[in-house]
Amino acid sequence: MALHLDVKRSKNVLVARLDGELDHHTAAHVRKVIEEELNHEWVTHLVLNLEKLEFMDSSGLGVILGRYKRVTQMGGKMTICSVQPPIERIMEMSGLFKILQMFQDESSAVSACGVAS
Amino acid sequence: MKPVHTNFMELCFNARSENESFARVAVAAFLSQLDPTIEDLTDIKTVVSEAVTNSVIHGYEENPEGVILIRTEIEGTKICVQITDYGLGIEDVTEARQPLYTSKPELERSGMGFTIMENFMDEVMIHSKLGEGTTIQLVKQLTPQSQQSLVN
Ligand SMILES: Nc1ncnc2c1ncn2[C@@H]1O[C@H](COP(=O)(O)OP(=O)(O)O)[C@@H](O)[C@H]1O
Ligand SMILES: [Mg+2]
C-alpha cells in the first residue's frame, strides 16, 4: 500500500496522520479505517494531519469531503493541518477552505476542535 | 538552428486502480529527460492520475478488463499526454467540465478532475463518443529550469 494511515486519540478528537499517496486506489482504505474509528463512542471531532502526504488528487478531496459530512452530522468539528503546498493548491481550487479550517501544526488543529466542543 | 528534440512513448494497461500510480510515475519518469521543475512534474502526475482514474471509474465502471492507453509526446519543451479508454464515453462534455460536476456522487467523487486538468495544463481537449470511449489530450509548455531560477 502506497499510503500509511496512523490513528490516535486525543480526548474526544480522532487524529489521523496520512503518509504517502492519496488517490482513488488508496482512498478506499483511508475511508474504511476512519469510518470505523468514527463509530467509537468517544469520538466527536476529527483532525487530518497531512504532513507526510506526498501526493493527492481529486479522489482525496472526495474522501475529505465525505468525512467532513459525517463528522458535521455527528455534531463534531473537523480540521486539517500541515498541508504541503501542491496539495493546498488543489484544496484551494475546490473551495475546501470555505468549510474546513487549516492549521500549521497538529496541536493547533486539535485545540481548535476543543474550543468548539 | 538546432532541430527540435522529439520523442514519444506509449503504454497500455488494464483499468485497475493500482495502475493509477504506475501511470503517473511512468509518465513522469519519461519526462525526466527534459529536466522539468518539481512543480511541473507534480502538475503532470496529478493530471495523469485524474484522467486515468476517470477511465477506471467512469469509462469502465471499475471493470478491470478495460484497457487504457497513454501516449506521451515531447516536442522541444512542449509535452502532450493523451489518455484513451474504450469505455462508456461522455454524454455531455460541457456539463462534465463544470467544476464540482460528478455523475457519481455516491462514490464520493468531488467533480474536480477536469477543473484540475484545466488549471494545471495549457490545453485540455476531450474527444468522446457514447459507447465508444474517450480520449483526453493534455498539452503543456514546460518551464525551463534556468527560467525557474530567475523567477525565484
Ligand atoms: N473517461 C471517462 N469516461 C466516461 N465519463 C467520464 C470520463 N471522464 C470523465 N467522465 C464524466 O465527467 C464527469 C466529471 O469528471 P471529473 O471532473 O473528473 O469528476 P469526477 O471524476 O469526480 O466525477 C464524471 O463524473 C463523468 O460523468
Ligand atoms: Mg475524476
**pLDDT, tens digit, 9 for 90 and up, residues B28-66:** 999 999 999 999 999 999 999 999 999 999 999 999 999
Return the pLDDT at B3: 86
Return the pLDDT at A116: 45
Return the pLDDT at B1: 75
Contact status, residue A58 vs residue B112, Cβ threshold 8 Å: yes
> Which ligand lies nearest to the CA atom of residue B53 in the structure?
2
How close is the nearest chain A Cα to the Cα of B104, in Å? 11
Return the pLDDT at B145: 72
Rg value, chain A, Cα: 13
In this prediction, residue A38 has a pLDDT band, given cuts at 50, 70 and 90, of: very high
Return the pLDDT at B150: 54
Say whether pLDDT at B146 is over 90: no
- Residue A54 burial (C-beta neighbours within 10 Å; 0-12, 13-18, 19+): middle
Return the pLDDT at B2: 78
The cell for A88 is 493546498
Does the active-site annotation cover B95?
no
The per-residue pLDDT for range B54-103, each reduced to its tens digit, is 999 999 999 999 999 999 999 999 999 999 999 999 999 999 999 999 99
Which residues have CB under 8 Å from A43's CB, separation 6+? A9, A12, A13, A14, A37, A74, A76
Q: Which residue has the cell 494497461?
A: B13
| Average pLDDT over all residues of chain A | 95
Say whether pLDDT at A117 is over 80: no
A58 to B116: CB separation less than 8 angstroms, yes or no? yes
Residues that place a CB less than 5 A from ion ligand 2:
B 54, 113
> Residues of B101-115 as b/e, b for ≥16 C-beta within 10 angstroms?
bbbeeebbbbbbbbb
What's the sign of the alpha-carbon dihedral A85, A86, A92, A96?
A: negative
Residue ID of nearest Cα to ligand 1 atom 27: B103
**B128 closest CA partner among B91, B82, B98:** B91
Question: Alpha carbon B33 to chain centroid distance?
Answer: 19
Which alpha helices (DSSP H) does chain B contain, by range? Answer: 19-31, 38-54, 93-97, 113-120, 145-151
Average pLDDT, stretch A39-52?
96
**A89 closest CA partner among B138, B42, B143, B109:** B42
Complex ipTM, two decimals?
0.94
Contact status, residue B67 vs residue B50, Cβ threshold 8 Å: no
- Residue B39 burial (C-beta neighbours within 10 Å; 0-12, 13-18, 19+): middle
Per-residue three-class SS string for A47-89:
EEEEEEEEEECHHHHHHHHHHHHHHHHCCCCEEEECCCHHHHH
Pairwise CA distance, residues B105 & A2, whole Å: 25
Residues of chain B with Cβ-Cβ distance to A86 below 8 Å are: 39, 42-43, 46
Pairwise CA distance, residues B92 & A7, whole Å: 41
* Phi, psi torsion values for B133, nearest 5 degrees: 135, -175
What phi-psi label fits residue A40: left (phi over 0), alpha (psi between -120 and 50 degrees) or beta? Answer: beta
Residue B2's identity, in one-letter code, is K
| Average pLDDT over all residues of chain B | 95
Catalytic residue, chosen from B19, B20, B24, B54, is: B54
pTM over 0.90: yes
Greater model confidence, B146 or B13: B13
